[in-house]
Chains A and B, each alone.
Chain A
Amino acid sequence: MPRNIREFHRAPTSARALELLGRVATPTAALVPGPRLPDPLFAHAEAVVDLRALPLNNMRVEKDEIYLGALVDLQSMVKSTTLAAVADGILGEAAALAAHFGLRNLATIAGAIDGATDAPPGPPEVLLALLAMGAEVTTLAHGDRRTPLVSYRPAKEDALCEIILPIGAPMRGALARVARSPLDQAIVAVTAAITPTRARVAVAGAAPAAFVVEANAGTEPATTVAELVNAVAAHVAPQGDYRGSAAYRRAMAEVLARRALTQAFSNEANS
């Protein structure tokens, strides 16, 4: 934890949280721990805001949607029977891959999203699962305005409020990844989620940021798989690092997209 933190605030309301986060004279960061800590935001912050007093730590099902508060911890997602029943449990599986047990008790879904968006060092699977499932988000500043997760970008002066998953249509899913060890951060990771009408693939490790491609799912699975794999191939723009070269990442994006999609369709066929 950086030693530059001079103020600690507990925000009793969203308004107070936003007020604190919006300060210019005293750079302030929200305490939204992710799986990779400490939060890089803290390096430039002089104050932090604890959001635990806000009602952000619950998971509920309403109509055809699941609402996940921004502070729901990753271990709760791993254990959630509600999430396990959606898209073959890829969100819980993704949460399990994000960090070890102790960090999952501490890290939040919002932290996992913020830490994996744009050019992140953080584990990507939670973000990918949510992207493939077509999640939407709200923020403290815009509590009544939903934004597709794919369009969301973290802002220092705001914080995630809720993540909303559509479950109106039956959804199957699969996650595929390659890493140096079973629980190491993925070199390339892919999630796939399919409903009767749409198929969506989210990819990380093969471009500067995670990306999503989607297609109609009304045709033969093989056709959809081919279409989406081609789309993935068209989107990849990998940068190599010590875990894997650009060429390897490019190849793996296609391999894993095909694998995840095939698995998801297989799950559907077997359901």
Chain B
Amino acid sequence: MNIQINLNNQARTFTIEAGETLMALLRRSGLWSVKHGCETGECGACSVLVDGKLMPTCVLLAAEMDGRAVTTVEAFDRGPGAPLDPIQQAFAETGAIQCGFCTPAMVLAARQLLDAEPNPSEAQVREVLGGVLCRCTGYVKPVEAVLRAAALLRGEAVPPIDAPGGIPLEGFFDAMRRSPEPELPGPDSDVVTQTKVAFFSFPTVDTQTATDVVGRPEMKVDAVKLVKGKPVFADDVDLPGMLHAAMLTSPHAHARITHIDADAARALPGVHAVLTYEDVPRVIYASGGQTWPNPHPWDQVSLDNKVRHVGDRVAVVAAESPEIAQAALALIEVDYAVLPAIFDPIATMNPGAPVLHDEPDAVGIADVERNIAVKIHAVVGDTQQGLAEADYVFERTYHVHQVQQASIEPHVVVTYWDEDERLVIRTSTQVPFHVRRMIAPLIGLPVKRIRVIKPRIGGGFGGKQEMLIEDLCAHLTLATGRPVRFEYTREQEFSSARSRHPMVLTYRAGVNRDGTLHALDLYVVSNTGAYGTHGLTVCSVSGLRGLATYRCTHMQFTADIVYTNIPTPGAFRGYGAPQAEFALESLMEEIATALNLDPVEFRLKNAVRSGDPVPITAALGEGEGGRQPQIVQSCGLEQCVAQGAAAIAWDKKDDPAWRVDPARPYIRRGLGMAVCMHGTAIPGMDMGAASIKMNDDGSFNVLVGGTDLGTGSDTVLAQIAAETLGAPLNDIIIYSSDTDFTPFDTGAYASSTTYISGGAVKKAAEQVRDQILARAALMLKLDAVDDLSLRNRQVTAPDGRSVTLADVALHSLHVADHQQIMATASHMSMHSPPPFGAQYAEVEVDTQTGQVTTTKLIMAVDCGTAINPRTAEGQIEGGMVQALGYALCEEMVYDEAGRSLATRFGDYRILQADEMPEVQAILVPTYEPSGPYGAKAVAEIPMDGVAPAIANAVYDAVGVRIRDLPITPEKVWKALQSE
């Protein structure tokens, strides 16, 4: 049928199918700003304006649009280099864009509001932004953006975004860099007796000599293309002859495939390939995107004759359209011999429990019969002795649940042969280099015949630290010779992607009468679901984070990582730390309460400080081996605690009038807090590299293997390069990442990018800088470079003469001693400097229903130097909101047969803009001597403290202790009933 639409102010006629969605029509028409995030209209990423009203297009039929006006953000694009539309400008300037996947829809929501209401309230802004789920920002900066846009549109002056900032000049940092870094003890040394090292405090910033780029809230380098909705994501391509993949998944939690017949599916016109376990090589692997060799167990194959959870892979199809692919799936006949399933992580270890991995070729499973994938045991001192010596012993068990990363962009990959008959994999991944290495044996191609392109990523949060679907798509391209596109549905994201490990954590703590922690024993049962993937490493981090924050003489960590028939957990922002921190910070509060100690003072009395060793790091690494003893070299924890307390008005805990609401007598208010200590990268393992070359005009190409998954790391890395090279940020052209062109990087995980990849960028930039200074000395006829300065695009000699970077570039490329000024550098660190944080929460508890409403979340974070304070704030704000969902309302739940009960947004509750508490991020600057410009991590620590802070606030409000996440109304109500 034909329809006519006024599309972006142009009359257009389209030929459509009756069942075609508006989203499909717009995307096949090249309007790539319309994003697929779900199929139920609940994420809002596909929203456009229909007759001026924001509507999700995945639930609208294109046929309904006949005679109507449809507007996408492409309508506001004034062309290359032209000023942005004021709304888009405000989004770019305020840091409202992280991954940018939902940004076009947010811009349109703002457009509808501001067309009707030039001077909106914050509540009105939140209402319209409520139509678009954002998993990155916590909505703080998008709200700021819309209010700023309103002011711009009213013609009002707005404050500049490049507020005063910066940190002391490079000379200071050069001195720091050249200082010998503290020597770390070897794995077998007694770190407790390690000699204290020298420490650096953060100096006062002199605005006259501050850095030009580092430490300033620069606009993200990718902001413009993201806010314009440019085709920058993996799925924003339409290759000639591209086929569409679909995956048949298991309806059973545990079954053996006794017969599979795909003949009818293969015979369906338009179907080009159907692959089952009979069609692909059986190669054992582990899908977690990790450094070689991947940690054990290796317990997966691309397609198996056994399924181990509802949603497990059974077959894949490539067809000429998504509709034909779906139809083909329905024609595949599968006979299952259904096996008993097990979901309980404790019962799965019992004799007689169904054995998940009875295949003979799995490698490295700790105890097949007991479904134990991995066991961990790490000891510092003698915990039994320590507990016996302690004046008090506390034992508590905490339960944490399974939640999903729920990035708004689903997993999506496009594979094709290039003109050199090399396989190109364009994929939304955090780990392009790991994907290239890991997929090679599965598809039978050498690494050199594989190229992985990582475009922009629409959110990852760990879920894309996995070689999840690339192998299946590649197999289909190998089978057909055609480009193939494979994207998960939202339901498949919940049933067939990764998630956070549910755990049962039992602490035993020995405490002396004076409030000193003397012994800590932590036993964890971690449920790794059907496959091991990140099971070992996530749980290792639980042990590291659960036993690092507080000084303690005797510590022990024991873990059983077990298989069950739930969908497989994997990496998720925080990576085992949120689980452990919930238990630890609840425990600390319980101990303080029991001993009548001030909980904050009790924590600070025992918390590690600058100069302290972290003994557990000598006994426990992240994965197999990898133990690397650490010493804290920078710590702003006390300042974090103080600033957070001031911001939330901690003293009002003591005001009885504040605790009640006369208008709602059933409400009680409470405050809670938690302290957090995370890590920065995996010491001795994570490596990043960068290449920098200088162009004729004095600009620089920076190529990094690190993957910006929306965090702003490209911007941060470009700022480090710009600062070091004496150039403004817009002279840096940064690109990440493509395994053919960018140097290796382990990938975006473990809070490593600023620290590791940034270290590589700084090293490479310093080498380029040295070449520039040498060239300038040649041009200025100077014998030495020592007194030359490089700043503001020019090299200046002590006598005042100068040459510009463009002069230097032209001279080196075209005039004399011809040379391409360029360098490549790698960086790895044996340090893993911990960022610290203090998380505060204010709640209202309904004593009649048990509902907990969070009214304020404030986190003060010491991330060393915030290379870009605005993106750092965004990380904290967004992380806190993800963590709030973890605490209260997000939960993967199943029926008795293992079928997911929350297969869509809504049922799986992601918080909206119009139901948010007040969220505030505070940056507490310190200087980390091992990091580039003093930086350490910020991305993951905001996940760690919210759940315990809320649990502690609930206790403060109504006196009940919830040890089982999420803190649902019913759990609180039941606890109140039992009081």
Chain A residues near B (Cβ < 8 Å)? 1-8, 10, 31, 33, 36-38, 47-48, 50, 52, 75, 100-106, 178-185, 187, 241-245, 248, 251-252, 255-256, 259
CB B99 to nearest CB in A, in angstroms, measures 19
B953-967: CB near A (< 8 Å → 1, else 0) gives 000000000000010
Tell me if B61 and A48 are in contact (CB < 8 A). yes
Q: Using a Cβ–Cβ cut-off of 8 Å, how many residues does chain B contribute to the interface with A? A: 59
Given contacts A31-B64, A106-B55, A178-B850, 9 further A-B contacts (CB under 8 A): A5-B61, A100-B44, A101-B128, A178-B846, A179-B851, A180-B968, A243-B968, A251-B973, A252-B849
Point out the residue from A3, A8, A183 that lies within 8 Å of B323, measured CB to CB.
A3
A-contacting residues, B199-217, CB 8 Å: none
Tell me if A256 and B909 are in contact (CB < 8 A). no
CB A32 to nearest CB in B, in angstroms, measures 12
CB A212 to nearest CB in B, in angstroms, measures 21
Tell me if A102 and B901 are in contact (CB < 8 A). no
A6-B914 in contact given A31-B64, A101-B109, A185-B906 (Cβ < 8 Å): no
A-contacting residues, B844-865, CB 8 Å: 846, 848-851, 853
Point out the residue from A1, A5, A7 that lies within 8 Å of B58, measured CB to CB.
A1
Tell me if A36 and B906 are in contact (CB < 8 A). yes
Looking at A104, A178, A245, the one whose CB has the most chain B CB atoms below 10 A away is A178
The CA of A252 and the CA of B66, in the complex, are separated in Å by 47
Q: Top 3 closest A-B pairs, CB basis? A: A5-B19, A102-B131, A101-B131
Tell me if A38 and B130 are in contact (CB < 8 A). no
CB B320 to nearest CB in A, in angstroms, measures 14
B1 on the A face (CB < 8 A):
yes
The CA of A181 and the CA of B843, in the complex, are separated in Å by 12
Q: List 22 A-B contacts (CB under 8 A).
A: A1-B21, A1-B60, A6-B19, A8-B18, A31-B61, A37-B41, A38-B40, A50-B63, A100-B44, A103-B56, A104-B131, A105-B50, A105-B131, A106-B55, A106-B56, A179-B969, A180-B889, A181-B889, A181-B915, A185-B906, A244-B969, A252-B849
Tell me if B59 and A183 are in contact (CB < 8 A). no
The CA of A3 and the CA of B906, in the complex, are separated in Å by 22
Nearest-CB residue, chain A, relative to B916: A182
B484 on the A face (CB < 8 A):
no
B326 on the A face (CB < 8 A):
yes
Tell me if A181 and B848 are in contact (CB < 8 A). no
List B contacts of A248 (CB < 8 A): 969-970, 973-974
Looking at A180, A241, A245, A248, the one whose CB has the most chain B CB atoms below 10 A away is A180
Tell me if A181 and B849 are in contact (CB < 8 A). no
Looking at A50, A104, A182, the one whose CB has the most chain B CB atoms below 10 A away is A182
The CA of A199 and the CA of B974, in the complex, are separated in Å by 31
Tell me if B55 and A5 are in contact (CB < 8 A). no
The CA of A18 and the CA of B570, in the complex, are separated in Å by 52
Tell me if B130 and A101 are in contact (CB < 8 A). yes
B487 on the A face (CB < 8 A):
no
List B contacts of A187 (CB < 8 A): 969-970
Tell me if B61 and A105 are in contact (CB < 8 A). no
Nearest-CB residue, chain A, relative to B911: A181
List A contacts of B968 (CB < 8 A): 180, 243-244
Tell me if A180 and B909 are in contact (CB < 8 A). yes
List A contacts of B437 (CB < 8 A): none
Tell me if A102 and B132 are in contact (CB < 8 A). yes
Looking at B18, B323, B912, B915, the one whose CB has the most chain A CB atoms below 10 A away is B18
The CA of A182 and the CA of B911, in the complex, are separated in Å by 9
A102-B902 in contact given A182-B853, A184-B909 (Cβ < 8 Å): no
Tell me if A4 and B59 are in contact (CB < 8 A). no
Nearest-CB residue, chain A, relative to B48: A102
B348 on the A face (CB < 8 A):
no
Nearest-CB residue, chain B, relative to A3: B323
The CA of A252 and the CA of B851, in the complex, are separated in Å by 11
Point out the residue from B47, B129, B849 that lies within 8 Å of A256, measured CB to CB.
B849
Tell me if A255 and B848 are in contact (CB < 8 A). yes
Point out the residue from A1, A50, A251 that lies within 8 Å of B59, measured CB to CB.
A1
A178-B326 in contact given A4-B19, A101-B109, A103-B42 (Cβ < 8 Å): no
Tell me if A259 and B848 are in contact (CB < 8 A). yes
The CA of A187 and the CA of B889, in the complex, are separated in Å by 12
Tell me if B849 and A242 are in contact (CB < 8 A). no
The CA of A180 and the CA of B105, in the complex, are separated in Å by 26
Tell me if B109 and A102 are in contact (CB < 8 A). yes
List B contacts of A106 (CB < 8 A): 41, 55-56, 59-60
B470 on the A face (CB < 8 A):
no
List B contacts of A103 (CB < 8 A): 41-42, 55-56, 131
Point out the residue from B19, B56, B853 that lies within 8 Å of A2, measured CB to CB.
B19
The CA of A243 and the CA of B914, in the complex, are separated in Å by 21
The CA of A187 and the CA of B53, in the complex, are separated in Å by 30
Nearest-CB residue, chain A, relative to B116: A79
Chain B residues near A (Cβ < 8 Å)? 1, 18-19, 21, 39-42, 44, 47, 50, 53-56, 58-61, 63-64, 66, 105, 109, 127-132, 322-323, 326, 666, 846, 848-851, 853, 888-889, 891, 893, 901-902, 906-907, 909, 911-912, 914-915, 966, 968-970, 973-974
A181-B47 in contact given A2-B19, A100-B912, A102-B109 (Cβ < 8 Å): no
The CA of A181 and the CA of B915, in the complex, are separated in Å by 8
CB B862 to nearest CB in A, in angstroms, measures 30
The CA of A102 and the CA of B129, in the complex, are separated in Å by 9
The CA of A253 and the CA of B332, in the complex, are separated in Å by 47
List B contacts of A245 (CB < 8 A): 970
Tell me if B59 and A38 are in contact (CB < 8 A). yes
List A contacts of B666 (CB < 8 A): 259
Nearest-CB residue, chain B, relative to A101: B131
List B contacts of A48 (CB < 8 A): 18, 61
CB B28 to nearest CB in A, in angstroms, measures 15
The CA of A259 and the CA of B105, in the complex, are separated in Å by 38
List B contacts of A252 (CB < 8 A): 849
Looking at B21, B58, B323, B968, the one whose CB has the most chain A CB atoms below 10 A away is B968
Nearest-CB residue, chain B, relative to A10: B66
List A contacts of B19 (CB < 8 A): 1-6, 8
The CA of A107 and the CA of B407, in the complex, are separated in Å by 25
List B contacts of A182 (CB < 8 A): 853, 915
The CA of A34 and the CA of B746, in the complex, are separated in Å by 46
List A contacts of B18 (CB < 8 A): 5-8, 47-48
List A contacts of B129 (CB < 8 A): 101
Tell me if A101 and B127 are in contact (CB < 8 A). yes
The CA of A256 and the CA of B846, in the complex, are separated in Å by 12
List A contacts of B21 (CB < 8 A): 1
Tell me if A102 and B851 are in contact (CB < 8 A). no
Tell me if B42 and A1 are in contact (CB < 8 A). no
Tell me if B889 and A33 are in contact (CB < 8 A). no
List B contacts of A50 (CB < 8 A): 63-64
List A contacts of B41 (CB < 8 A): 37, 102-103, 106
List A contacts of B47 (CB < 8 A): 102
List A contacts of B58 (CB < 8 A): 1
Nearest-CB residue, chain A, relative to B849: A178
Tell me if B64 and A244 are in contact (CB < 8 A). no
List B contacts of A10 (CB < 8 A): 66
The CA of A106 and the CA of B973, in the complex, are separated in Å by 36
Nearest-CB residue, chain B, relative to A1: B21
CB A236 to nearest CB in B, in angstroms, measures 15
List A contacts of B127 (CB < 8 A): 101
Tell me if A255 and B849 are in contact (CB < 8 A). yes
Point out the residue from A75, A100, A178, A242 that lies within 8 Å of B902, measured CB to CB.
A242
Nearest-CB residue, chain A, relative to B23: A1
List A contacts of B914 (CB < 8 A): 100-101, 183
List B contacts of A255 (CB < 8 A): 848-849
A1-B53 in contact given A106-B41, A244-B970 (Cβ < 8 Å): no
Nearest-CB residue, chain A, relative to B44: A102
CB B921 to nearest CB in A, in angstroms, measures 21
The CA of A105 and the CA of B131, in the complex, are separated in Å by 10
The CA of A137 and the CA of B648, in the complex, are separated in Å by 51
The CA of A183 and the CA of B18, in the complex, are separated in Å by 34
Nearest-CB residue, chain A, relative to B917: A182
